Amino acid sequence: MELGDLYTEIVTQYSCSQRHRHPLEHPDVTMRGVNPSCGDDISLALEVEGGIIKKAAISGSGCAISEASAAIMADMIEGKSTEEADRLAELFLGMIRKTVTDENELEELEDALALQNISNMPARVKCAVLAWHTLQGALKKLETSPQGTVG
């Protein structure tokens, strides 16, 4: 695969995006995600109200692929219900694992489609999925916490 298929305009733009790089004052859940081998280390914080993700914020640092993936994800899940966010995460992971290949179905992933080529780069798959695994972890934590609030 060519580098141009990986480091696309969309990916480099999102990887430098600061939109979700601000601390949340009262996050309902925070979750850390780490790729020990390459050193990607991000934290995702969510503010959730009535089952709707109001705000998503990213901190930490990682490679361009993991940062772009996190920024795209944060953009996408704001305003969506937690169930919807979880479903999108499954869809994204399905795209990378190539278990979902139907283009109409994948259309929903919008800008995240820019990361589809990563499925052909085993060495970078972990970078692309880190944020989405972290999201799923955060949602699970939210669900199992007694009052729905965990720090």
Structure tokens, 64: 């361009």
| Binding piece for other proteins, criterion CB under 8 A, among 60-68, 69-77, 88-96, 132-140 | 60-68
Q: Does 117 bind Zn ion (CB under 5 A)?
A: no
Structure tokens, 112: 């995240």
Catalogue the E-assigned strands of the chain: 29-35, 40-49, 52-61
| Binding piece for other proteins, criterion CB under 8 A, among 25-33, 35-43, 76-84, 103-111 | 35-43
The Cα–Cα gap between 58 and 69 comes to 11
| 84 contacts 61 by C-beta, under 8 angstroms | no
Q: Does 144 bind other proteins (CB under 8 A)?
A: no
| 112 contacts 69 by C-beta, under 8 angstroms | yes
Lay out the site mask for other proteins across 102-141 (x = CB under 8 A, - = otherwise): -------------------x-xx--x--------------
Smallest gap, in angstroms, from Cβ of residue 39 to other proteins?
A: 3
**Contact partner, 113, from Zn ion, other proteins, none, Cβ < 5-8 Å per class:** none
Binder of other proteins out of 29, 65, 128, 139 (CB under 8 A): 65
Q: Does 37 bind other proteins (CB under 8 A)?
A: yes
Residue 30 burial (CB count, 10 A): 17
| 21 contacts 42 by C-beta, under 8 angstroms | no
Residue numbers of the site for Zn ion (CB under 5 A)?
Answer: 38, 40, 63, 66, 127
